[in-house]
Amino acid sequence: MQEQLITHATAVIAFEKGFNWRCYACYMNGKIEYNYAFEAQVDDKAATIIDILEDETCEDVSKSCPAAPTQSLLQKWLRDTHAIHISVFYNQYEFWAEIMQGGGESISLRNKLSEPGKNPTDNYEDVMEIALKRALLLINAYTK
């Protein structure tokens, strides 16, 4: 199983909201570019990517070249930095998500995941992507 990277649109929103953890991939001209030196660094140190990412920030990141974290890393950043928790659920008919904020507020994305004219989402990764984007929009505009 390979971790799913967030989409370019979600990466731009994450950058605007202050995501600055170092990642092994970024978007350049709308396409994924990998930092193979970073992957080697992870392998050489026998550390997890999370161990390294928690202490370092993205290099040369901008709105035109946003970091491309995995969905799980962005989910962790939302949880650790903004106390926003995302859970994806499944029953025999569908996937859906809930976004919970630190104050106890909960937003259910059940029956709100498909766009008009499109089929309902039918896999975990698509639902997580939608939930990540919606969760990012809950954050006040990032200011340095």
Q: What is the pLDDT of residues 82-134, one digit of tens each?
A: 999 999 998 888 888 999 987 778 888 876 555 555 555 678 999 999 999 99
Q: In sequence order, which ranges of the chain are alpha helices (DSSP H)?
A: 8-16, 36-45, 49-53, 71-82, 124-136
Q: To which residue do tokens 């507020």 refer?
A: 105
For residue 118, what pLDDT is reported? Answer: 56
The pLDDT tens digits of the residues spanning 54-70 come to 444 445 566 778 999 99
CA distances from 28 to 67, 73, 118 (A): 9, 20, 28
